[in-house]
Structure 1
Amino acid sequence: MGAHALDKDLAVLAASARAGLVRAIGVSGAWAADPVWREAFEAVPRHLFVPYYYVGVVGGYERRWGESPDPRSRERWLRGAYADTPLATRLRDGELLTSSSQPSLMAMMLVALRVRDGDRVLEIGAGTGYNAALIAHRLGDDDLVTTIDLEPEITESARQHLAAAGYHPVVVTGDGARGVPERAPFDRIIATCTLASIPPAWPAQCRPGARILSPFATGLIALDIRDPGHAEGRFLHTPAYFVPLRGADRAGPETVTLAGVPRWARGHELFRFLLALTRGSLDPQEAYALWEREGMPQRERYGITVSGEREWAWLDDPEGPYAWPLV
């Protein structure tokens, strides 16, 4: 059959399910500030980018795929492809390598990226190719879009998915931390993997006035580029959990002891955000004291500045008393 050649009943279901996803994203308010993205989500068929995915079950994962011989299984696969949830798309030894992000979160990130007609966009983390297709549709010019991933098998499958859906952005295999200098300069950079610091190559490959949007700690940072050596911005309000950027010199997470931190605070997602943001600079007890003193700050009060070789996170003011080096 081929997931791109659905039988008639499934094709009708796909259209209905996609319309349902678009309605759900609209209700979430994700594209209220830039409704042009609605058209992209209406046009790009997500099921072509997830010919199979994995659903967590007791003891592991269950694979759902569009070429199952069982019609009910194919229908379950298709409905799942248009659910407003992240989908695990690649596992290795039980570890999640790649996922297709929750569509409403993707929509919110794309709106926050503030894409304009004619912008050159770099995506870090090709994943399934779905996000690159949405951006290419929005811009109406595939050549404005570049997407990069470290794993050749990921970039090859993304390229195939994109072609099946009728899109041909530039797909690069390489370390996203190094950017794609041969395609620079960029007006927008969007990452779909979480960072421990901002790779210097990203601002260096941006035009003045460009914007970088990336998961960071457990949030989303939006950086505005003044010049190739200076970037600054605040976190968006929303929590965001992505797999880490893989590649050169990517440090793994450190374990910390939360002894001395009240039990109710240990699992609070705003406290966990501060812990992730200040990893290596504040111990958990110092972080808790600051967090309580400042009234459990929301993510929007935090920001990041990149200036030359210096890079730091801060609360309220880049030059204020609360600042923590990131590199």
Structure 2
Amino acid sequence: MGGHDPDRHDDDRAALADLAAAARAALVREIELTGAWAADPVWREAFAAVPRHLFVPYYYVGVVGGYERRWGEHPDPAARERWVRGAYADTPLATRLRDGELLSSSSQPSLMATMLTALEVEDGDRVLEIGAGTGYNAALLAHRLGDDDLVTTVDLDPEITESARRHLAAAGYHPAVVTGDGARGVPGRAPFDRIIATCTLSSVPRAWLAQCRPGGRVLAPLATGLVVLTVHDGQYAEGRFLHTPAYFVPLRGTGGAALETPGLGAVPRRARDDDLFRFLLKLTRGSLDPQEAYALWEREDAPPRERYGITVSGERAWAWLDDPDGPYAWPLAG
């Protein structure tokens, strides 16, 4: 007779929930194999518990000529299954597009696990996340800490914070979700023990140091790497990059993305195409021209990311190779 069959609807939901649980367990096994949380296996439990599919009710997959939207309420059961499986793939998911430009995404889960482990969160820590995204990262933090009030996440876009708040509530988490400029931090919720950014910076906002307890850690994407700074006081922080490459959407509200580097023509193609050379180029933008960067890269035998670091001292901030007071140091833009 047709019409709506509530039993079939419930069966569909149960099947989808079972598929999500199996896909989540497979994702946890996949991340385990990368060694991402080897230094702090407690994160395994958070990734096993937090349902990522609730944070990406729809997302976009690149196809020839543009993007295809996958969503959880699609009328076709096979399409809903594709949505669930995709939600638990170890890949970044495009969640917000405007005129074909990516505004927001859910990061690759194994990279999130690497970042959260490197943050070295301890029980009772107050954590500030810059860039709310879908809310998934804030949920992982809230689960790990066991206290929603210890977690604050901030984003400039009210649409993003509103949907993050909705996703978090659906998954049973209620951290503080704040709409505002992440570069200013959230002074009303400070002080923080840990600050983690999920958007690329050109420099380190001084407001973060002022809002971080002495001995706290700041982890942020910068150039195409991840720098981990130890905060000594509101004026001084220092630390090195992790070995991991990281590509994120730029922090909005503090200037747009940097332009492509001119003058690469004289640099050999093997360097131009090398990830570590491109990292050095981005890190020294405005200080070294490409030929100077190439000469350094050759002389130092293509240094990996972990040989580089950042120091912030008062109004000055600089990147360095091997030693903050050594011969290779460059002022940071911004």
The one of 247, 251, 266 equivalent to 2:253 is 247
Is residue 266 of structure 2 the alignment partner of residue 260 of structure 1? yes
Cα root mean square deviation, aligned: 1.2
The one of 79, 90, 94 equivalent to 2:96 is 90
Query: Please, which runs of 5 or more residues in structure 2 have no aligned partner?
Result: 1-5
Which residue of structure 1 lines up, in the alignment, with residue 119 of structure 2?
113
Deviations 1:67-92 (A, max 9, x none): 00000000000000001110000000
Asked which structure has the greater CA Rg, the reply is 2
| Cα distance in 2, alignment partners of residues 41 and 251 from structure 1 | 31
Is residue 227 of structure 2 the alignment partner of residue 226 of structure 1? no
TM-score normalised by the chain length of structure 2: 0.95
TM-score normalised by the chain length of structure 1: 0.97
| Cα distance in 2, alignment partners of residues 316 and 39 from structure 1 | 36
One-letter code of the match for 1:99?
S
> 8 Å contact 2:250–2:257 — kept in the other structure?
no
Is residue 147 of structure 2 the alignment partner of residue 141 of structure 1? yes
One-letter code of the match for 1:274?
L
One-letter code of the match for 2:97?
L
Is residue 14 of structure 2 the alignment partner of residue 8 of structure 1? yes
Which residue of structure 2 lines up, in the alignment, with residue 74 of structure 1?
80
Which residue of structure 2 lines up, in the alignment, with residue 151 of structure 1?
157
After TM superposition, give the deviation of residue 165 of structure 1 in Å: 0.2
| Cα distance in 1, alignment partners of residues 104 and 329 from structure 2 | 33
One-letter code of the match for 1:117?
D
Query: Please, which runs of 5 or more residues in structure 1 have no aligned partner?
Result: none
One-letter code of the match for 1:17?
A
> 8 Å contact 2:129–2:138 — kept in the other structure?
yes
After TM superposition, give the deviation of residue 249 of structure 1 in Å: 4.0
Name the CA shift for 1:85/1:6 in 2 (closer, same or farther; >3 Å): farther
One-letter code of the match for 1:245?
L
After TM superposition, give the deviation of residue 264 of structure 1 in Å: 1.1
The one of 211, 215, 219 equivalent to 1:209 is 215
After TM superposition, give the deviation of residue 263 of structure 1 in Å: 1.1
Which residue of structure 2 lines up, in the alignment, with residue 195 of structure 1?
201
| Cα distance in 1, alignment partners of residues 37 and 328 from structure 2 | 33
Which residue of structure 2 lines up, in the alignment, with residue 315 of structure 1?
321
| Cα distance in 1, alignment partners of residues 13 and 111 from structure 2 | 30
Q: Percent identity?
A: 80
Deviations 1:116-167 (A, max 9, x none): 0000000000000000000000000000000000100000000000000000
After TM superposition, give the deviation of residue 254 of structure 1 in Å: 4.6
Is residue 138 of structure 2 the alignment partner of residue 132 of structure 1? yes
Question: What is the SS of the residue equivalent to 1:9?
Answer: helix
| Cα distance in 1, alignment partners of residues 153 and 49 from structure 2 | 20
Name the CA shift for 1:6/1:248 in 2 (closer, same or farther; >3 Å): farther
Which residue of structure 1 lines up, in the alignment, with residue 177 of structure 2?
171
After TM superposition, give the deviation of residue 277 of structure 1 in Å: 0.2
One-letter code of the match for 2:183?
A
Which residue of structure 1 lines up, in the alignment, with residue 55 of structure 2?
49
After TM superposition, give the deviation of residue 294 of structure 1 in Å: 0.6
Deviations 1:28-86 (A, max 9, x none): 11011000000100110000000000000000000000000000000000000001110
| Cα distance in 2, alignment partners of residues 252 and 181 from structure 1 | 28
One-letter code of the match for 2:328?
Y
Residues 90-99 or 255-264, more deviating = 255-264
Question: What is the SS of the residue equivalent to 2:164?
Answer: helix
Deviations 1:94-121 (A, max 9, x none): 0000000000000010000000000000
After TM superposition, give the deviation of residue 250 of structure 1 in Å: 4.8
After TM superposition, give the deviation of residue 253 of structure 1 in Å: 3.0
Is residue 204 of structure 2 the alignment partner of residue 186 of structure 1? no
| Cα distance in 2, alignment partners of residues 158 and 40 from structure 1 | 18
Deviations 1:4-41 (A, max 9, x none): x9711111101100000000000111011000000100
The one of 301, 325, 331 equivalent to 1:325 is 331
| Cα distance in 2, alignment partners of residues 305 and 157 from structure 1 | 36
Question: What is the SS of the residue equivalent to 1:317?
Answer: coil
After TM superposition, give the deviation of residue 209 of structure 1 in Å: 0.3
After TM superposition, give the deviation of residue 257 of structure 1 in Å: 2.2
| Cα distance in 2, alignment partners of residues 17 and 182 from structure 1 | 39
One-letter code of the match for 2:102?
L
| Cα distance in 2, alignment partners of residues 58 and 140 from structure 1 | 43
After TM superposition, give the deviation of residue 271 of structure 1 in Å: 0.1
| Cα distance in 2, alignment partners of residues 298 and 251 from structure 1 | 24
After TM superposition, give the deviation of residue 179 of structure 1 in Å: 0.4
| Cα distance in 2, alignment partners of residues 164 and 194 from structure 1 | 28
After TM superposition, give the deviation of residue 255 of structure 1 in Å: 3.4
